Structure 1
């Protein structure tokens, strides 16, 4: 049973590019590696052949997984999203009530999360705690270390 996952146009494009690369570049290379190893002699004692076959199996498994994800991917229609509340694709500026530190995040689908670039998943504890909140609200978020309180300073979209 597959789950529907939501993507931005950029995230869906990256997924498609990775799938195309694996199918059109890596799959032929894996086949060639097997052929090269096969040409080296007795297959029963050929570790290179076994390694090439195993690599091909892993590649095919990855391709199958990505095809399943791509088949169940849905593009997020940004024009239908409420801009006054924190939702997926919202850029949110928050202030930690405990230490006064301000943070900027963009809430994205789980597959597109990248903390280094300020993108957090809507399924993360902080993402879940911010969803549905508006400017001025206080979000109480339960994390492994306890409860964090964040004030929503601003909610925008690009």
Structure 2
């Protein structure tokens, strides 16, 4: 799998449009609003003891970080639909894995990102794993029946077998 593919972020058109709208709001009217808050707080006097000024500057920092995050996600975005026929694990697929080959110990999840798949609270019970996570990276491009190992964040090696791969339906 190429580096471009592994760094790409899969988005539905709906999720892309939603994120683009948020970016437009934050980088346009949102920036102007925060700048006005900072200017008003600055006019109040001594900045060392001005809680409103420090709160507005913190808000600005959070907002600028979100703008950078959104811009990066949209720059790397690959817009499309969930695969119609999922023969292999990829972004937008729902995957069931068995731990250590034990088909009674399984986990089912969507490979992608909750925000990027456009999932809201109505489907909050859906587990979502990033393709860049240790498990996501290990199973990306694999097929039903494939066994893989990955190293968990705690350093433990975990063996899984892919039991099922299907297109995700929200």
Q: TM-score, normalised by structure 1?
A: 0.71
**2:98 aligned residue:** 95
Question: Which of 70, 75, 78 is 2:78 aligned to?
Answer: 75
Whose Rg is larger?
A: 1
Secondary structure class of the residue paired with 2:22? helix
1:107 aligns with 2:111: yes
**1:120 aligned residue:** 129
C-alpha distance in structure 2 between counterparts of 1:139 and 1:70, whole Å? 28
Q: 1:38 to 1:125 in 2, by over 3 A?
A: closer
Q: TM-score, normalised by structure 2?
A: 0.67
Once the two structures are superposed, residues 12-68 of structure 1 have per-residue CA deviations (whole angstroms, 9 ceiling, x without a partner) of 23422331332345323223323432443x456662574266346525633651464
Secondary structure class of the residue paired with 1:87? coil
1:32 aligns with 2:36: yes
Listed as ranges, the gaps of 5+ residues in structure 2 are: none
How many residues end up aligned between the 2 structures? 155
Listed as ranges, the gaps of 5+ residues in structure 1 are: none
Q: CA RMSD in A?
A: 3.6
